[in-house]
Amino acid sequence: MSLYAVQKVLYELNRDPQLQARYREDPASVLTGRDLTSEERGALLGQDIGLLYVLGVNGQILMHYAAFCGVEWNDYLEAMRNGVREHGPVRDGIYAMTTEV
């Protein structure tokens, strides 16, 4: 897994209006050449907040990405809960789960 690469994409996307416009038009082009696994690429293309959370994306970065995607706050929180239910515990990063769900 390349958590750094995922977070870098989201960090750049959260801050660059030109990149945001490109992502809205053709998200796959924004991901081309990035060091991402197929699971990470799918989560980004599918705007899968829950899976991105489980992959370990930092909540501050993920929160801004969710807002960019039009996800309301309560839906964002629920998406993270659903991500854990569907994909298991957070795998990496500062939210990695060291206890059972």
Give the length of the chain: 101
Task: Write down the pTM of the prediction.
Answer: 0.88
Q: How far is Cα 9 from Cα 2, in angstroms, rounded to an integer?
A: 11
Alpha-carbon separation of residue 14 from 25, 85, 91 (angstroms): 16, 27, 23
CATH class given for the domain over 3-87: mainly alpha
Q: How far is Cα 88 from Cα 81, in angstroms, rounded to an integer?
A: 10
- Write down the residue that tokens 């807002």 correspond to: 67
For residue range 22-59, list pLDDT tens digits in order. 999 999 999 999 999 999 999 999 999 999 999 999 98
Domains in the chain: boundaries: 3-87
Encoded amino acid at 97, one letter: M
- Write down the residue that tokens 């039009």 correspond to: 70
